[in-house]
C-alpha cells in the first residue's frame, strides 16, 4: 500500500485555550513538517496575526471555537475583515455541538470544522483540503 503524499510545508497558527490540545497539535504538525505558531487565546492570536511582522506568513489558522474573551468565531470575523484571503484558510475545532456554538459568523463560509475528539488523520485531511485550494 502506498503512503498518501504529504501536503507542502505550511506555517500554521494553532489557537486553543486547552494547553494539552495545543501541545498535542503542535507536536503532530511539526512531525508532519509544518512550522507551528501557538496561541493559548484569541488575544495572542490577534497579536501574532496583525501586530507581529511574521503574522503575514501564516498559511493556515486552526482555532478552537470556544475560548474566553476573543473566541474562535470573533477571531474569524476579525480576520475576515482584515485579511479575507486568510479567512478562507481557517479550520475550526470544537468539542461542543455546532447548535450550541454561535456559528452565525460562519454563514456562507466554507471552512472545515473538526469535532473534538478527532483523529490526527482527520486534522491532516482538513489541512490538506485547505492547502489544495
Segments making up each domain of the chain, as ranges: 11-131
d(CA 17, CA 2) in angstroms, rounded, equals 37
Task: Provide the mean pLDDT of the chain.
Answer: 85
Ordered strands of the 35-39 beta sheet = 35-39, 11-15, 60-64, 90-94, 113-115
Question: What's the mean pLDDT in 40-66?
Answer: 90
d(CA 58, CA 88) in angstroms, rounded, equals 12
- DSSP conformation class of 61: E
Is 4 a residue whose pLDDT tops 90?
Answer: no
Question: What's the mean pLDDT in 37-62?
Answer: 90
Cβ burial of 37 (10 Å; 0-12, 13-18, 19+) is buried
Class of domain 11-131: alpha beta
Amino acid at each position: 500500500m502506498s503512503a498518501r503524499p504529504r501536503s507542502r510545508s505550511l506555517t500554521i497558527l494553532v489557537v486553543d485555550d486547552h494547553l494539552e490540545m495545543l501541545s498535542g497539535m503542535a507536536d503532530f504538525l511539526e512531525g508532519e513538517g509544518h512550522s507551528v505558531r501557538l496561541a493559548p487565546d484569541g488575544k495572542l492570536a490577534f497579536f501574532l496575526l496583525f501586530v507581529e511582522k511574521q503574522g503575514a506568513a501564516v498559511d493556515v489558522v486552526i482555532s478552537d471555537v470556544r475560548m474566553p474573551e476573543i473566541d474562535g468565531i470573533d477571531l474569524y470575523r476579525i480576520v475576515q475583515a482584515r485579511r479575507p484571503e486568510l479567512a478562507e484558510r481557517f479550520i475550526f475545532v470544537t468539542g461542543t455541538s455546532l447548535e450550541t456554538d454561535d456559528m452565525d459568523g460562519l454563514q456562507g463560509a466554507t471552512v472545515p470544522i473538526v469535532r473534538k475528539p478527532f483523529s490526527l488523520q482527520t486534522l491532516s485531511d482538513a489541512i490538506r483540503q485547505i492547502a489544495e485550494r
